[in-house]
Every structure is written in C-alpha cells, then in structure tokens.
Structure 1
C-alpha cells in the first residue's frame, strides 16, 4: 500500500522539540521542563515551560534566541532560579512564579550554572568555573568582544603542558580553571566560595536542613593516575569536608534521605574497569555503615540507552520515597529503560517499563506521583504522569505536526543466537514504501561505547536510512549494556573477536529471515567503537559493498597517546598499555589489515575530536589511498566527538547527507 505520509528527511531533526529535566512544583500541582529546538540560524535554543496538571497545554516561561535551563523552585514555590545565556554566558537568574521579568543574580567572568536552593530558600548554591586567584565577590562578566579578544590572544600563545590529562573532548585543552561551588546569600546579595581544591567539584545534593552539601570530586594526590570519583559532605557552617567513599571507585548521582540521616548513590569499584555495572548504595551517616542494595540484580542502573536527538539533562540520581523506606531510579535492561523501586531490605519492584526509553523523571512525595519523560522509536519525547496507583496519563503532545506529516518505521525485534550459543537482541526497520516481493539494500548500524545500548528510543539516523529505502539492522553485540555484567565485560581484550562474530551472525539471521534483503547490496556504518568495528569488518570480510566509518579508531598504538582517554582506556579495553605489548595493540588495529580492504569506504571525522582524534581517520585514509583503494575522507571543522548528537546542526545535516550519498552511490 502507498504511504499516506512523506518520508523523513535529513534536516528533519532540526524541526524537533526535545524535552528534558521534568521538575514538580513544591505543591505537586504542576511541573516544569526544558524544551530544546533549533532556530532559523541553525543554533540550539532552549526554553523553560510550565504545565499546570489538568490544563490542556503548557505555558512557555522564557523566550528569545538563547539557552535557558535547570529551573529549580524555592521551597515555598514563590520563586524559581535557573540558568540562562541571555547575557552571553550561562548565568544564574531568578523569577517570581506569579509573573514578571526575570532578574540576573550572577555576572561571573566564566559563567555560573546549575542553581539549587539551600537554607529554606535563603541562599542558592551553584557551580562556577574559577581560576585559582578569582575573587567571587568581584566577578564581572566579559562582553562578547572581550571574550573574543581574550580567546584570540590565547590562540597565539604557546600551551605549556605538565599534566597527563591536559585535554578532554568536552572542554578541549584544559587551563587552570576548575569548577567550584559557590553560595549566594540572597538577603545580602553576597557570595561565598565553598570549595577551592585543584579539582572540578560537582554538587550532588543539599541536606533537608540546608546545612550540608553532597559533592563529588577527585581530590586524590595524583588525579590523572587515580581515576576515582569520591563523594564528600561539606558542612556549610564550619566548611569541614568529610569523605564518604574510599578513593577506589567512581561514585556519583547521590542524594540525601528526607531526614538527612542517609545518603543514596550509584557507583562501583572498577572491578571490571570501565565495563563495571553501577551498584546502588545507601550510606548511614550516623553509624558509617554502607550497604549495597543491588548486588543480586545484575543490570545497569541509570540510563545508558543511546540516541541522536537527546538534548538537555534529566535527573539521574536515585530519589528517596517520602518515608525514606525505599528509593526510585532508572535502570537499563534489554533495550529499554524503566522506573524501578528498591526497598532498604533489597526488594526490587518494577514500577514502569514498556518498549520505550524513560529518559527522566520527577517524584512528588506527598502525592506519590511521578512525571516520566518517555521516548519511543516513533515518538521523540513526551511527558506522562504516573499516579500512585500505577495509572499512566499522557500530559503533552510534542512534535504533533511533525508526527502527523512524517512516516516513521516501527522496529521489529530480533532474537539472535550467536554461533557459540549466546543470545543477542536486535531490531530491524523496513524501508519506507515497503512492498512485498521487492528486494531492498541493507545497512548494518553499530553503536559506540562499546559499553552502551541500542534500544526502544527515537533515532533519527536509523529512521532516515529506512526512509531512503534501506533495510536497517541494529543490534547489541556482547560488550553492550542491558544484559548483565558477564555480557558487558565479554568484549574486553577481545575487540574484533566474538563481538565481530555477533554482528556477522546477526546479518546472517536477517538474511535468512527476511527474503526482501538484497544480499548483494549490503552496507555497514558506525561511530567511535562502531567506527572501529566498521574498520575491522571491511578489513576482515568483503561481504559488504559499501561502508561509512565515523569518528573511528584505526590504530591503537597511536590512540594510546593522542586520545584524551587513551592512556587508561587502552589498558581497560584491550588489556595492555603501549609499552607492555605494542605487538598486541597492533594486532587489534584495523590499520594492520588495510591491504585486505576492498569495500568502498567513506571516512567521516571531526577536526576537534579529542576522544578519537582525527589522525585515526587520516592514517586510514592515507594508507588506503596509497594502495589506490576506493576511499574518501570528509573532515568536519569545529566538530568534536559529539558531532552526530549535539554538534552544529548544519554540520550534522552535512554528515547525514554524506552517509546517504555514499550508500546511494555504492548500494
């Protein structure tokens, strides 16, 4: 039957409204959220919306071509603090919930963000990047011209590097600024710097009496070598800091119990290095006792389901019930994320999970209700109310015009048995305008990580390829999250081994089950680890007629020294540092097998990718081109490792157009 809606297009992601950060009002009668869109100038903007429960539609609270987010209500609900870039940099603003214009509270030189209320509404705690000698009482925001002049001056000066960890994909080259916590006293309009160690500090929570802060930081003597992240309690009156964790793991997403006597948090002790599942801990502040609630669950706590349209942050911390007898949190399992409850007696209850992605939630203790942010493969996002009786009610109608106009594919779930008997999960999208009896080209998509998960979420790139006439297959090979500790750990020291076999077995199953796939027109693509695996595939088999490798790894020997994580990630994932066994790292490198490549290969890479630096793509291109292979290299300016997810919209469109062009030419 002919489609009654049009096929999705490359630029359609710029039409989407993306929701995040639901927050109940203190009285539980309404909630707020952040909505992110792309404006006519191809820039991301975000605004705060307010929705009275029972009203048909939300009300927009902020306006203009800038970013507004992280709104938090005062305890009495009469005021709200939020961060906004309307002055140029993110700063803290305040507004009355009864109406009127917002008022700017901070003018920090490098910005201020993530406000939280303390002392029953008498002060606000926020984060600010500060230089060691900065005075928080005399901060002045620079003009756009001043910032540009300073940036240009900095570009023309040599960078002196003395630390091992001197760059990151998120921040670029590091300087002396560190994220510190600052307190704004609203009655006197004065500031107090609460932290000053040579480390980034992340506010986790504020005690119910407003006198203590939970914060996360790496305060070890050798933070570049000790990859721990510890939790601390800071007493606001005495400024005394007490460490809760043991400097032998990564702990985060912490929150105080309603009575302030306990702290819940997620984390692990690196038992399986970067492949270790999160656990849920409860720390009794009076006795010092710590218990692990999750040691029998064998699932990843938190949300690790990936997509390419998730913009903005949502709550990731476990939330206490009103009576402090249980905790609510998100967890990742078999291609979906759901809302769970755990009692302090270690009983686990599933409160909500369907074939979708719960990307955020807010809980109101008095009413027992939740606001859930939910995405599905055919719905980018909407908010729902989950009542105490488990009844789910839809609250918003986001992207209604878009969904009425565009045809989206429902994925078909595949159960795949690998050649060694391991069970795998995958999904297949049929092409737009599918007709029985017709043969269609095929694209295998491979996710990054490798410790991540495909699943039941909206994914524009996958839908686009289906719209262009391809059968799209995406699976979670071993190494992915969602299937327990043994499964996610199985890829380590075996890159290109069983994970490669999983992907090839999945292709075989798809070819066997779906006769409409043209086995002579097979394509493959992936980014990051998925780019590595694309490189590995085309250097180990010629069954694919076209390939696109994105932000990939081709040479583990050089990756060790050029990636922002290479010096520890190489050991974590492959089992060896550069000097321990360089031959083994070379064996894991697709570049070693470049002479075998016969598949036409398109290489896409960001110029400012510090996670998988562009030299990885460049080495592969030069090696293949020197052998007169069919290869092309596209370099994206001002693009980091996040190009496909949160990069400049115009470059994201270019990237998708190149992928479609390559597959159209060769498939």
Structure 2
C-alpha cells in the first residue's frame, strides 16, 4: 500500500531470542489435524523451501470464540494453484478439551463474517452459494446440526451480520442505488443497469476507483432482519429517509466489498451505534472523519454522538453495558500518521469527549478484546518485527505485558467467556490457532506444523543501528537453507511497502523471506523511517522526505549488515520491493550504482503522476506539504524519473532493473511501470517489464506467483550471482 495515512499497528519490546520450531512454543499434545511430535520432527529430513511449500500451506482465518467460551470457529483455506480446486470451509475447535478440530461446512465458495448467537448455539456467516449472485447471510444451528439456512436474498447481498442481545434479530450492511426505498427498487435499478446498451461510467465526486475496482453509485445502508424466520423475512433499512444519508458526503470506509459502517447493537437492543463520514465527497481536499452516531432499531434520524474531527472504529460495549470502547485516530491536521488509541465513553453517552486510555502509549493498537470479568482490556501492537499481547485497566493506567510467545506475531484476537483465542505465526511457523489465557500460550491446531517441520529454515536474526541524526533503526536478516557461516553470500535487501507498515516475523505469501533467500542470498529487512512499530514521530518522519531519507537508511542498513556479518559478500548486492518498497527500489536505481540488480513491483516513478492517477491523493499532498502546483521541491526532487540526469553522471540509472506490475492495480497504476520501462529504454539500461493482466496491487494467483518468484530468481542470478 502507498497512502502515507495507511494505518498499521505498532509494537513494544524487541525479543532477540528466537525459537527454531513450533515445538519450543507449543505443547506436544496440542490438538490438531496433522500434528507431528517434536521427536518425530527432528528425525525428518529437511529440505529448502519451495514455492509449493509456501503456496499450499493451509491458510488459517481469525477464530471467533463463542460467548460461553467453549468453542472457537475459524476458516481454513485448502489452497491450490488452480482456483477451481481451492476450498475454504469453517472448522470448530473445543476450548475446554484437547479434542481435534472438526469441519463444520463443506462448501467450495467459503464463508466469512462469522458471528455466534448470544446463547452460543447458532452461527451466522456470509457465503455465496449456489443460486447466489452476491454474498448472503446464512444461519447454522451448531447445537442441533443440519444444513445452513439462508436468511437473506438481497440483490446487492449482505455482509457483517451481528446478533441482537436477545438473539432475535440480525444487524447487517447492504447497499442500495440512489433513490431506492425498497428491495423491489434495488432489483429494478440493478436490472436497468444490466440492460443498458452503453458501458460508460460517470463521476462527479470522490475518487472513481479503489484498489482494483471502478466504483459504482451504490450507497451503503444498515439493515435489520428477523434472525429466525428465514428468507421470507423482509430486512428493514433503518437509515432510510434520514437527513444523514441524504448528505452528499455520507458514507463509510471503502473496502474490497464496498463501503462499510462499523455498527453494533446498544446493550438494551433498542438502538445501533455506528460510525460514518459526512465529508467523503471532499476526500481529495481534506481528511475524511468517521464520527459516531446512534439510531433507533426501528429507524429514524440518527443522533451524532461525537463532536470532534477524529475517526472512530472497532466499537465494543463492556459486558455491563456501561462503557462504549473504540479505537480513535486523531486525524491530526497536517500530519501523515496518527497512532490508533483506545478510547472509552460512559454509556449512555452524555459527554461527547472520549477518555483516551492509552494516551501515554506511543504505539498503535492493532486489535483489542474485552474478556469476561471486564477489569482489563487485552490488546496487541507491533514493535520491531513482533506483535505481542498487553493489557490495561478499563479506566486506563499503566500498560502491562501479557504472556506471549517470544517471537512472531499475533494477527487476530477473540474472546468469549473466560477464553481468549487468536492466530499466532512467525516466518518459520505458519499460522495456527492459539489460546491466550494468562499462561503460556497453547497451540490448539496443527494444520501446518508437520509440513513446516520438514523445511530447512532459521528464524530471522535481529539487529539495530543508529543513524547520523540519532534514529534507531531495526533490521532482520534471513539466511538461506544449508547456511554455512564460513561461506560468502550475496545480499538481497527487500524493502517493505506502506510506508506505514513494518517488517514482521511472519509467514508471508507475496515476498516470502525464505523463498527469496533460497537460491543462496542473505535477505535484509530494514524498517526505514516512516515505518510503524517505533512511535508516532518515527512514522511521521517521512513527511516532506518520502524517498531520499528512507533510501539513505536502507543503504546504511546494507553497510551495517556488511560490517556485522562477515558471511555477506559486499561486492554482490541487490535490492527490491513492492508498492512503497517499489517506490524506494526505483529511487535506489535512480540515485546509486552500488546494487548489481533491482526488482521493482508496483513502484512509483513520478510523485505528481501518482498523485493524479492513484485512488487517493490527499494523503500524498499532506506528505509533500502542499498541492502539486505549489512548486514545492519535493514533488520533483524526490520523483525517481526526475533523477534521470544521474545516468550521464554515472551516479544512477545504470543498474539492471526488473519491473513488474498488475494491470488492475489502481493503487499504483501501471502507468508508473510503463514510464519506468520507457526511461530504462531511453537510457539503454538493461530492463525487463512484466505485466500481469489479471492481477491487482498484489500477485494473488498461484501460477502467476510461481512465475514471479522464478523471474526474480533468474534476474538476480543473471546480474548478481
């Protein structure tokens, strides 16, 4: 991702020690499907990681704990190179015994947005099954068994269902077209659009596209439906006819499935609290603020609850119903980044000003839960490659460490009763479900442990260095299979995107550290300034200096790694990255000749062009300090294409570069890659352009991914090894 205001979580203390396998972090008796004992794992012959190992690892979704704390339900994707052969189903695991998880659903399309009923007997989820043209809500009686029953049959589908406190109704999100009041209206509007003889799109406000989709005129709404009646029940649009939704800037956060409103039932079930923006039509001119509103469950005009310029999301009520919690983003004017902080409101809300519980914590909260008992809030945040658990009193105070694994990252959390579950993973431990109950975390599943135990890989090694201006920079290095410290290895520095993100000790698909290292490279991962995980000011430090400063720190990271590790061959260096990492890869190719090869995926070449053609511009303008016509030097001085004169000086634009791009990428549109290739051809620099016509910002299809990794390996082998 490339927007400077992209929020990513931030973390706490660096743990230098690393476990070599899951066996050091999880008990041998952990329940699962294919568990291998530690003794058996050590006897197995290990092999260097392959693309098949990476791509075919089972992908474990976020678990959802039942309200009584007895069960957790989660998705498992059985990946395949051909999407027609891929399956995704729901699994259930007991949280009270060591029985193995079992499969709940057997449908190829998969399920999402899982929600338990208050009595822990039923589930609802969203799925697109036979006959569905859009995702619909299904109900499954877990206690009684049987087939899932469809609850909605809406033309534009349904998403994110939530049970009412009494278990009788469901709140969910759907869409309408302008002027629609009933489902019949929506169906008629959909038919009219389908029957049109022309294919033109028209826009008057906001960005016309998002990520890999051209936006339509659909408008987001909140609906309530009877949870038990089945598809004959008629959902009610509880925002219909209100003045709020008539505002031209009304809307929610944009996602892959459309706009979303973070909405929850009030404790008494008589109302719904939700977040919404009213200035989405001004997104190219100012920050979009998501404020809190309250609407009666019967509908009517929503009441605005907050009166500031912050944004609120991830809403939760305390078990006693007396406190509303949220994550708050201050949206500080003129700044490119704010940490997410925990906020609370006394309920019913009288004072619109929140209490910021983590005001003293200079880290961004990724996720939080409210376990039974209600005295402490459990949350996680990133720091220096890790994401661990912490807690704070519901009234604020000091942050306390909670038992976590010493390496890796927690990527989801859910609580029910006294149970706390989530997903933990590391770069050498693919994701599994864990229980976090105030003691040593316990692994509950073993979908990937046997396959992982057969791979020859080592946990990343962490190190720090200090920049000339006093900034502490965190790095990780990853070694190849069959590593020999007495040999010399080329160095491949891989640059993360964001810039508001962080290299994590995590199992990843798109730039898997060990797969990149496999041909015999040391992989260097540097968290340059602008990264999250090190505080608000560190993340803000790229403002007015989007590429040069980070590029200098990446180069210094290479220097420090060479000094620290005698097994690195200083004469054989390569660099590469995607998205913001692609921007920086282009910058390095434009400004230095020290690298033998560059790999740039979805990389920006011209800041001005990127501002005008990407799916978001205001954050880029904030980062530069003014609009593109302001004549501020940064717009040209830090555009890679404007450094082309370095070619004649012999200080840049000489390194062979592999340029890759998805044709459906609207975050960093393909015109950047085309300009990049044109510049290389003009300067007679060895270059190769690869366009993926069916990919977006990321390479998500199996065979495309395999081809990408092969092309990277061949490019580096040709010019580095």
Do the structures match in fold with TM over 0.5?
yes
State how far apart, in whole Å, the 1-side matches of 2:374 and 2:263 are: 18
Q: Cα 1:259–1:500, aligned 2, differ >3 Å: closer, same or farther?
A: same
2:709 maps to 656
Contact residue 34 and residue 70 of structure 1 kept, 8 A: no
1:295 maps to 359
Secondary structure of the 2:402 match is: strand
Q: Cα 1:63–1:518, aligned 2, differ >3 Å: closer, same or farther?
A: same
Structure 1 residue 436: Cα displacement: 3.4
> Per-residue displacement from partner, 1:580-616 (whole Å, max 9, x unpaired)?
1265301110001133311000111111111111101
Secondary structure of the 1:208 match is: coil
2:219 maps to 178
1:169 maps to 211
* Counterpart selection for 1:264 from 321, 325, 331: 325
Q: Does 1:67 align with 2:128?
A: no
* Counterpart selection for 1:486 from 509, 534, 537: 537
**Matches for 1:432-443 after TM superposition, within 5 Å:** 432-443=481-492
2:345 maps to 283
Q: Does 1:56 align with 2:99?
A: yes
Contact residue 93 and residue 106 of structure 1 kept, 8 A: yes
2:33 maps to none
Structure 1 residue 95: Cα displacement: 1.2
Secondary structure of the 1:70 match is: strand
State how far apart, in whole Å, the 1-side matches of 2:535 and 2:573 are: 31
Larger deviation, residues 490-499 vs 439-448: 490-499
State how far apart, in whole Å, the 2-side matches of 1:155 and 1:563 are: 29
Secondary structure of the 2:547 match is: coil
Q: Cα 1:214–1:13, aligned 2, differ >3 Å: closer, same or farther?
A: farther
2:138 maps to 93
What CA RMSD, in Å, does the superposition of the two structures yield over aligned residues?
2.4
> Per-residue displacement from partner, 1:435-483 (whole Å, max 9, x unpaired)?
2322212100100111101122123421101122111000111110111
Considering fraction of residues, name the structure with more strand: 1
* Counterpart selection for 2:89 from 28, 47, 52: 47
Q: Cα 1:155–1:9, aligned 2, differ >3 Å: closer, same or farther?
A: farther
Structure 1 residue 243: Cα displacement: 1.9
Q: Does 1:361 align with 2:409?
A: no
Structure 1 residue 32: Cα displacement: 0.8
1:113 maps to 159
Q: Cα 1:246–1:423, aligned 2, differ >3 Å: closer, same or farther?
A: same
State how far apart, in whole Å, the 2-side matches of 1:221 and 1:611 are: 18
State how far apart, in whole Å, the 2-side matches of 1:379 and 1:187 are: 41
Contact residue 118 and residue 206 of structure 1 kept, 8 A: yes
State how far apart, in whole Å, the 1-side matches of 2:403 and 2:690 are: 43
Contact residue 625 and residue 632 of structure 2 kept, 8 A: no
Q: Does 1:339 align with 2:379?
A: no
State how far apart, in whole Å, the 1-side matches of 2:462 and 2:222 are: 46
> Per-residue displacement from partner, 1:219-262 (whole Å, max 9, x unpaired)?
23844344112222222135342223335122211112223232
Structure 1 residue 372: Cα displacement: 2.4
> Per-residue displacement from partner, 1:296-329 (whole Å, max 9, x unpaired)?
1111211xxxxxxxxxxxxx4x333444443222
* Counterpart selection for 1:379 from 414, 425, 429: 429
1:397 maps to 446
Contact residue 575 and residue 599 of structure 2 kept, 8 A: yes
State how far apart, in whole Å, the 2-side matches of 1:12 and 1:244 are: 50
> Per-residue displacement from partner, 1:57-100 (whole Å, max 9, x unpaired)?
10111113212122211112222111112234311111111211
1:104 maps to 150
State how far apart, in whole Å, the 1-side matches of 2:483 and 2:169 are: 59
* Counterpart selection for 2:75 from 34, 58, 61: 34
Larger deviation, residues 239-248 vs 410-419: 239-248
Contact residue 609 and residue 639 of structure 1 kept, 8 A: yes
1:306 maps to none
Taking structure 2 as the reference length, what is the TM-score of the superposition? Answer: 0.84
Structure 1 residue 506: Cα displacement: 0.8
Q: Cα 1:255–1:274, aligned 2, differ >3 Å: closer, same or farther?
A: farther
2:234 maps to 190
State how far apart, in whole Å, the 2-side matches of 1:259 and 1:630 are: 66
**Matches for 1:312-331 after TM superposition, within 5 Å:** 316=367, 318-331=368-381
> Per-residue displacement from partner, 1:317-376 (whole Å, max 9, x unpaired)?
x333444443222222222112221111323112134321111111224x2x31121011
Q: Which has the higher contact order (CA 8 A, sep 6+)?
A: 2
State how far apart, in whole Å, the 2-side matches of 1:220 and 1:551 are: 30
State how far apart, in whole Å, the 2-side matches of 1:649 and 1:139 are: 40
- Which sections of structure 1, spanning at least 5 residues, go unmatched? 303-315
* Counterpart selection for 1:625 from 653, 657, 681: 681
Taking structure 1 as the reference length, what is the TM-score of the superposition? Answer: 0.91
State how far apart, in whole Å, the 2-side matches of 1:155 and 1:59 are: 50
Structure 1 residue 138: Cα displacement: 4.3
Contact residue 479 and residue 521 of structure 2 kept, 8 A: yes
2:255 maps to none
Q: Does 1:211 align with 2:270?
A: yes
Structure 1 residue 9: Cα displacement: 1.6
* Counterpart selection for 1:220 from 279, 286, 292: 279
Contact residue 87 and residue 108 of structure 2 kept, 8 A: yes
Q: Cα 1:81–1:136, aligned 2, differ >3 Å: closer, same or farther?
A: farther
State how far apart, in whole Å, the 1-side matches of 2:196 and 2:461 are: 52
Contact residue 229 and residue 247 of structure 1 kept, 8 A: no
Contact residue 677 and residue 687 of structure 2 kept, 8 A: yes
State how far apart, in whole Å, the 2-side matches of 1:65 and 1:26 are: 28
Q: Cα 1:139–1:463, aligned 2, differ >3 Å: closer, same or farther?
A: farther
Secondary structure of the 1:280 match is: strand
State how far apart, in whole Å, the 2-side matches of 1:140 and 1:38 are: 35
**Matches for 1:12-23 after TM superposition, within 5 Å:** 12-23=53-64
2:305 maps to 244
Larger deviation, residues 106-115 vs 200-209: 200-209
Structure 1 residue 156: Cα displacement: 4.8
2:496 maps to 447
* Counterpart selection for 1:229 from 267, 270, 290: 290
Contact residue 369 and residue 413 of structure 2 kept, 8 A: no
State how far apart, in whole Å, the 2-side matches of 1:540 and 1:26 are: 56
Contact residue 207 and residue 615 of structure 2 kept, 8 A: yes
Secondary structure of the 2:674 match is: helix
Q: Cα 1:498–1:362, aligned 2, differ >3 Å: closer, same or farther?
A: same
Larger deviation, residues 575-584 vs 274-283: 575-584
